[in-house]
Structure 1
Amino acid sequence: MKSSGIGGQAVLEGIMMRNADKCAVAIRKPNQEIELKEMDCHGIFSNHKVLRTPFIRGAFNFIDSMVLGIKTLTYSATFFEEEAEEIKEKLGDKVTNKIFKEKAESVLIGFTVFVSIVIAVAVFMLLPFLLVDIINNFFNVTSPTLFAIIEGIIRVGIFIAYILLISKMKDIQRTFMYHGAEHKCINCIENGLPLTVENVMKSSKVHKRCGTSFLFIVMIISIIFFVFIRVDNTILKLVIRLLLIPVIAGVSYEFLKLAGRKDNRLVNVLSKPGLWMQKLTTSEPDESMAEVAIEAVEAVFDWEKFQKEETEAECRL
């Protein structure tokens, strides 16, 4: 069947699912009950038509996704904090609440997103460039193409090392399992199967529209873009790379949307590297995790109606 359009994110002991402006978070609480909450997921930029334009919308959608992701992660963490009330009364929270009042949460989330983007750009964009620049001092890499390829290889290597490192953490291991459950639910629906625990468990844990694939596509497309940077000044190279980040994000976003809609050989081949990377960020979930995923999906998406409409469309053809 065609893409359902739904997407999601694994959170702490749960899953967030989003369908257009609908968003729901399902959490497996310590007492094993499932807590379901519908949340506002209107993006910061959702009301600006120009920012929904192809190749422009990608960077802004990425920021919106980060804001929603941090918001839902923060919500899920409240179920597992020890002495939660005491934590909320920390001095930092008191000061923030006093200064920003009802906007305190939005300010903190915005600051977190900003810091996260700065760290990501520094580690995955600037660090590889600086490392290649150091290598260049010893081996005199004069070819811009070779420079960009070596930089890209280092960038991918850092990304893989980062994933492998955090995957050693127990909480992250379980989050990767919920990530697998999220994908399995979407694949179950898009393959025309009834959304049951049994069908979810036998569905694939990788999906072409995954955020992991997006990040990997960004790295690959960055290599292609940076090949065409033909300047000798190091500072100017860095500036151009920074200016190209929104463009690269926009192109990567459009490819990911295309991959979700199309099922031809070329798109499938180009999607393979991202699917391979998902083997590092998804794990096989257990049935209790599949139940959580189903709760989140059914809160935002009428999968029976979707499958019925798709079946009728196929019959008309």
Structure 2
Amino acid sequence: MCTLHRTCHLRRERLQNGRSKEQRLMVKQLDIQREPEKTSIQESGAFLPQHIPEERYRMQSKPLGICLIIDCIGNDTEILRDTFASLGYDVQCFSYQTMNNIIQILRKVACMPQHQDYDSFVCVLVSRGNSESVFGVDQTRSGFPLDHIRRMFMGDACPSLLGKPKLFFIQNYVVLESHLEDCSTLEVDGPAVKNVESKPRQLGPCLVHREADFLWSLCKADVSLLERPSSLPSLYLKCLSQKLGQERRRPLLELHIELNSSVYDWNSRVSAKEKYYVWLQHTLRKKLILSCT
């Protein structure tokens, strides 16, 4: 082989050997990358997210708030008063009220300045009504819309309760329309509610929506339950009182789920006119426990 050819052959061998070496290095580097990094348990645990406690509503004021009970039937006031008083509420009871009186009571309570010092508000309303309204003791065709009751306590109408839980428990005994009387004396909520500050106040870095922090629990039952010789208390309110009295340290939404289960069990054993129907709507932003004591 001539000198020129020998030189070219050696160059080709060196080039091939060089490429093979680079390829081997690449494979070795890839193997190193694939090999998992070995760390101790303590070291790996240091990078796990720490437990973040769930945010709760503040429930420390004394009293916790006003509990307004309007009972136009008369079967449930005593047990409800005892239940919410034991939870630490300032309970205010009104029995056998006309529709217009109910409106005036709600307006007055919504405007109370004491709300600013309390951590929550509760309203329990027991009355005859229809699918969307309550009547009071004077059964009228128009009634007072339940939606108007909620508006009275929204953030723009009742700023002292903005950001605080507002709990409504309503037992409505539904009356057939044919049993109602015509009446045009309905007073809708309006200017009387607007005599408080209309702009929501700022809490921290952001504004709380006016419809936030509501729990709206509505139970409907046939009015025929009240027409029996021995009219019993509402099963719904009885279960509510028992849950709040015995398990007050648990979140309210969990208790309500169990309340629904108790009502469902009752409904599975009785006739259609003896059944209770519960609806729950809420805009709660935090965990709510009514009592930590």
TM more than 0.5: no
User: Which structure has the larger Rg over C-alpha atoms?
Assistant: 2
What TM-score does the superposition give when structure 1 sets the normalisation length? 0.26
What TM-score does the superposition give when structure 2 sets the normalisation length? 0.27
Q: Select the structure with the greater relative contact order (CA < 8 A; seq sep ≥ 6).
A: 1
Higher-helix-fraction structure = 1
